[in-house]
Amino acid sequence: MEQRKIIIVGGGAAGFFAAINAAQLAKASHQSVDIRILESSDSVLRKVKISGGGRCNVTHNQFDVRRFCENYPRGSKELISAMQRFQARDTVAWFLERGVHLVAEEDGRMFPDTNDSETVIQCFLDATESLNVKVLVNHRVTSITRESGLFLVQLDGQEPMVAHSVMIATGSSKSGYRLAKEFGHTITELAPSLFSFKISDSLLSELAGLSFSNSKVKLVIPGEKSFKESGPILITHWGLSGPAVLKISAWAAREMMHSNYQATLYVNWLGEKSLESVIELLKNLKQQNLKAQMANAYPKQLAKRFWLKILGKSKVREEQKWADLSKAEAHRISESLFSTEFAVLDKNRYKDEFVECGGVSLNEINFKTMESKLCPGLFFGGEILDIDGLTGGFNFQNSWTGGWIAAQHM
């Protein structure tokens, strides 16, 4: 039986997952395969290493496929059918089978129980070694051509390689987009996704590190549509971050790029449904704290130092008694809590865990196989595709799903 040669370009999450699963399938069916992962740099699985602050946010604890796919600003429709074949539940089982137990946190993010990304990396390295998958670092692919049903993979400073199937899983690297374009693929408009907002405002000064667990945000972009999100937000040294901000940046990735990252952000700090409900909340606070100073009685969801800033913004003296709070003053405080307006000046990339919006056009990919519709035998997986998810394990799940499906057909 002829040995089947498979080359995977890119030593990241999707590439490793595809290689391991393809090797397992071959072993189970007694097929002879030569599988090689080609990584241009000197190390593999870099995003796996840094994800989740070094803990690796493997997937998300949501096993309803349609609801899971609502977390992809781009690619949600295409991923529904793909994830009906390999979803988050399958990811949890796959890792457990290999001794890695994934644990869900309150917000749904799932991490290895060791809280260490090295657990996931070692799992992959052990699997590639036991299945004889060759992991080759410092192997930069310069071009790929296809003739007579075979691929010729040219390398910088190395001998060329021949393969029956090739998978491009190079993340958001320019080299991967170039290789895809050489096969006639369209690369959609690229833009950063998952970024925080640079804001300069006295309300936020000296409050870095303060978080709000149940907020709502609305982003209005000049000449574009507006976006809404909810969830925790975090005051940083440069402005605002946290899950709600990162999520809204993903939905508005291209529109924000078009506006040169200038926009208006409205923050509802308490997450209340209406201005009237905030006014009612303050009315109740007043009734319970008539003799207290304004500085010393405030909504329990807020830190005192933030409350003092709100009082200053609303032109209410800290030493004033709650009993003396006028309707107009209460209204100003309520408006500040319900909808503080900020000018967004620029973006700030979130540590090194950035995600790119855009990539290989999805209508050129067969999602039953992850194979190119333009070139038989050429497969894609992970972030090189025009798919990006919100923060919380969704981007890795796209890699696991695409890698698993490609493995069945390579």
Q: Edge-to-edge strands of the sheet including 141-147?
A: 141-147, 150-155, 158-163
Lowest-confidence region among 212-216, 220-224, 299-303, 385-389: 220-224
Phi (first) and psi of residue 92, to 5 degrees: -60, -45
Query: Is 97 exposed, middle or buried (CB count within 10 Å of its CB: 0-12, 13-18, 19+)?
Result: exposed
Phi (first) and psi of residue 18, to 5 degrees: -65, -45
- Report CA-CA distances (Å) from 104 to 51, 62, 99, 214, 401: 15, 10, 16, 20, 19
- Report CA-CA distances (Å) from 325 to 255, 286, 289: 42, 8, 11
- What are the tens digits of pLDDT across the range 81-130? 999 999 999 999 999 999 999 999 999 999 999 999 999 999 999 999 99
User: Dihedral of CA 48/53/58/63: which sign?
Assistant: negative
pLDDT at 2: 83
Nearest to 253 by CA among 171, 176, 347, 343: 347
- pTM listed for this prediction: 0.93
Domain 4-190+353-409 has CATH 1.10.645.10: no
Phi (first) and psi of residue 283, to 5 degrees: -60, -45
Every domain of the chain with CATH number 3.50.50.60 lies at 4-190+353-409
Residue 263, SS3 per DSSP: strand
- What are the tens digits of pLDDT across the range 188-209? 999 999 999 999 999 999 999 9
For residue 353, is pLDDT > 80?
Answer: no
Q: How far is it, in rounded angstroms, from Cα 18 to Cα 128?
A: 11
Per-residue tokens: 17 = 């997952």
- Tokens 């295409």 correspond to 78
pLDDT at 351: 55
Mean pLDDT for the chain?
A: 96
- What are the tens digits of pLDDT across the range 311-344? 999 999 999 999 999 999 999 999 999 999 999 9
pLDDT at 214: 93
pLDDT at 224: 83
Nearest to 329 by CA among 313, 314, 340: 314
User: Strand 346-349 to strand 340-344: parallel, antiparallel, or no bridges (unpaired)?
Assistant: unpaired
Q: Edge-to-edge strands of the sheet including 371-372?
A: 134-136, 33-38, 4-9, 165-168, 378-380, 371-372, 365-366
Determine the average pLDDT of the residues in 158-186. Answer: 97
Q: How far is it, in rounded angstroms, from Cα 117 to Cα 110?
A: 12
Report the run of H or E that residue 178 belongs to, with start and end: helix 174-182
Residue 74, SS3 per DSSP: strand
Q: Edge-to-edge strands of the sheet including 195-198?
A: 340-344, 263-268, 211-220, 226-235, 239-241, 195-198, 346-349
